[in-house]
Amino acid sequence: MFAVRLLALAGSLTLLSSVLLASARADEKTKTGFLTRVHKDADGKEAKYVLFVPHDYKGDKKYPVILFLHGAGERSGGKKQPVEVGIGPAIKKREKSFPCLVVIPQAVKTWQAKSADAERALAMLAEVQKDYKVDAKRVYLSGLSMGGMGTWSLAIAHPEKWAAIVPVCGRGDTKQAAKIKDIPCWCFHGDADTAVKVEGSRSMIAALKEAGGSPKYTEYPGVGHNSWDRAYATKELYEWLLQQHKK
């Protein structure tokens, strides 16, 4: 009889644990704003990332999602965190009305396709797509400087994933531009950039056009490497993004 009671108690505790865990997960999914999440890889290694959840998110409709790739200065061990540069500050200026989920991972070395950092970023994106209501037809990719290069690289490596790309002050492989000619693209760069020469963007835009693409390109006269503040503050950018979707 005692053994039966113990088994019943154990079953009740297991059920209670499951209910509490499900409740905790449900509670997490109702939180909005900038959230810190932890991704675990197949080996159990943990990596933190930031997820922005729109303030009107209730899980009752699908939302577009942006994967944002930071620059070299925000890598692990850097002086600033990825959320502090680029799209993060732009979101904070209109946080209550920003319309997209935004995944903000942190690299150790590089965003180039097939690197450990890039693969982890894609896994984090997939995790968010699983845990949240995401519009699979409106998955966007953007990044600045090193992240701009990563944007070109990941777009070329996985052209089927993206409804649109927004590379900022980066450069890419012009020989492979034909692979992404059909992906809507809006590229930004400053013509006085000494860190990543403006020719990096000019040549990619020219290659896309030569391949039959119709990319948008904004070049800021007299602007140096930091073209991202102006780019991500462009209201029309998000209006344009939301119009792009895969068929």
Instruction: Give the model confidence (pLDDT) of 174-231 as tens digits.
Output: 999 999 999 999 999 999 999 999 999 999 999 999 999 999 999 999 999 999 999 9
- Residues 113 and 233 both lie in one domain: yes
pLDDT on residue 213: 98
pLDDT on residue 42: 84
Q: To 10 degrees, the CA torsion angle through 33, 34, 36, 42?
A: 90
- Residues 10 and 128 both lie in one domain: no
State the total domains in the chain: 2
- Residues 230 and 127 both lie in one domain: yes
Range of the domain at 3: 1-30
Measured distance CA(209)–CA(211) in Å, rounded:
5
pLDDT on residue 13: 45
Q: Across the strands, what pairs with 53?
A: 33
Measured distance CA(116)–CA(159) in Å, rounded:
19
**pLDDT one-digit tens code per residue, 106-121:** 999 999 999 999 999 9
**pLDDT one-digit tens code per residue, 77-130:** 988 999 999 999 999 999 999 999 999 999 999 999 999 999 999 999 999 999
- Residues 119 and 188 both lie in one domain: yes
3-state helix, strand, coil in the chain (%, to 5): 40, 20, 35
Measured distance CA(87)–CA(82) in Å, rounded:
9
